[in-house]
Amino acid sequence: MFDFDALSNAISGRTVLCIGDLMLDEFVYGEVSRISPEAPAPVIAVQRSESNIGGAGNVARNVAALGAHCIFVGLVGDDDTGKSLKSALMSEPRIEPVLVSDPNRPTTRKVRFVSEHFSTHMLRADWEQAAPASKEIEQKLLDCILPLLPRVDIVLLSDYAKGVLTPRVIRSVIDAARERGTRVIVDPKNLNFEIYRGATLLTPNRKEFAEATRSHAENEADISGAAQQAMQIANCEALLVTQSEHGMTLVPRKGTPIHVPAHQVKVRDVSGAGDTVAAVIAVLLAAGADWETALRSANAAAAVAVSKKGTATVSLAELRRRILPEASLAAEEKIVPAGGDVETRVREWREEGLRVGFTNGCFDILHPGHVRVITEARANCDRLIVGLNSDASVKRLKGEGRPVQNERARAEVLAALEAVDLVAIFEDDTPLELIVRIKPTVLVKGGDYTREQVVGHEIVEANGGEVVLVNILPGFSTTSLVARARDGK
């Protein structure tokens, strides 16, 4: 396993130049329960809507979400959609937008109508002019792009065939980048790969690859064979073919092809997954990763992206949780220090429709009684947060000589339990403030408490949650264990 922390630190100092077709992605969520009396068409009862920066702009957002700096060059029309996109990009802290305005074309806008319950796209409406930029606009784009090359570590061309990446722009950018020794990643749309000649890596999906190479591309052997010829034509170092639920195959010009299977996840929306893949590949290569590390990271990021609704981005923290083995996550990702951010993780779980449970204690010496409560707690929810008293809190509650183990040691032992999804340390004598922040669906304590004695029960029940009391194992007590140890019995 590669050193994720070292790679993370390297990412923060890298700059990606992303060039491509910007668009506004809108999602209208609702349900269909009847057919219109005016025409044989479904009527959607709109419940909510949201707008996102889409197209190549979503690639830029993913680059920034990973912690790198992104200079984004795109094209907008002189309209409200273009102004909205410019404002949204300028509000992104790690994106530096460089937008060329073309008054003769509309800003690309796509509106998707989605079934809220089934996450099914029912209709998409597009406002666009999918034609190459004029000579005048083409020159303006190049005048913006070429002076930026000395500032960047890698170039990413995100081609949606909406007019920014004309043959002249592609050729000029690749040639100028190669002259500087800067790698170029291309998410292609043109099926003539020769137009991208000299790029470092092309990342077509399987359909695009099959059509471009006139091959079946049904298995790794098909892809590997056809890729060699395609790389000769494109004069590139490698080809990455994304295959949705079948994973990804990377074929280097020199070396052995690498195939990684897709992660098993509940797919909510595939919109923008290719953007995430291209962004991760570019950022990790810029940070010094090898082909396999970049590939496996992109594959993991795609799994995170498709598990979200709408045009999604993937953060470095989400990528870490997906790619690192569970054993590594115990200490690094399951423990939140006092006052730390538990809300983000809780929000992610709730967006996935998961029930969040909570229990708490000092857990100074973990014994079977503790394990019984924790295991029963986890059985009543989908994700379990364990609140852990800090050292100062334990000392106030238990007296001098306690805790026996410091808070970090106690947290690591709890985090190693499969039933525990998060350990949140708190400084107060009770976890009330933590419960207010988490608002768990289920609050669990041992059966030696009554419902009224459980701290936070009124908060949980006011939010529609429940308090669960579980049976405890008799004969187990940390205080008695400590006393026996000190007496040498």
State the catalytic residues: 275
How far apart CA 430 and CA 397 sit, in angstroms, is: 10
- Among residues 420, 437, 413, 408, which one has the least CA distance to residue 341? 437
Q: What CA–CA distances, in Å, run from 260 to 1, 3, 49, 243, 326?
A: 15, 19, 35, 10, 19
How far apart CA 209 and CA 246 sit, in angstroms, is: 14
- Among residues 354, 317, 270, 275, which one has the least CA distance to residue 5? 317
Place of tokens 């500087």: 180
Quote the tokens at residue 284. 């990790």
Provide long-range contacts, Cβ within 8 A and 24+ apart, for 167-173: 167/195, 168/138, 168/142, 169/19, 169/133, 169/138, 169/141, 169/142, 169/145, 170/195, 170/196, 171/195, 172/142, 172/145, 172/146, 173/19, 173/142, 173/145, 173/146
- Among residues 136, 182, 140, which one has the least CA distance to residue 15? 182
Judged by DSSP in three states, 329 sits in helix
Dihedral angle computed from the Cα positions of residues 181, 185, 189 and 195, in that order, rounded to the nearest 10 degrees: 20
304 secondary structure, DSSP code: H
CA 370, 376, 379, 383 torsion-angle sign: negative
Quote the tokens at residue 476. 């187990």
User: Please, which residues bridge with residue 127 across strands?
Assistant: 109
107 Cβ contact list (under 8 Å, min separation 6): 22, 23, 24, 76, 77, 79, 81, 82, 85, 127
Strand 335-336 with 248-252, pairing? unpaired
How far apart CA 175 and CA 184 sit, in angstroms, is: 10
Q: Tell me which amino acid residue 222 is.
A: D
Judged by DSSP in three states, 269 sits in coil
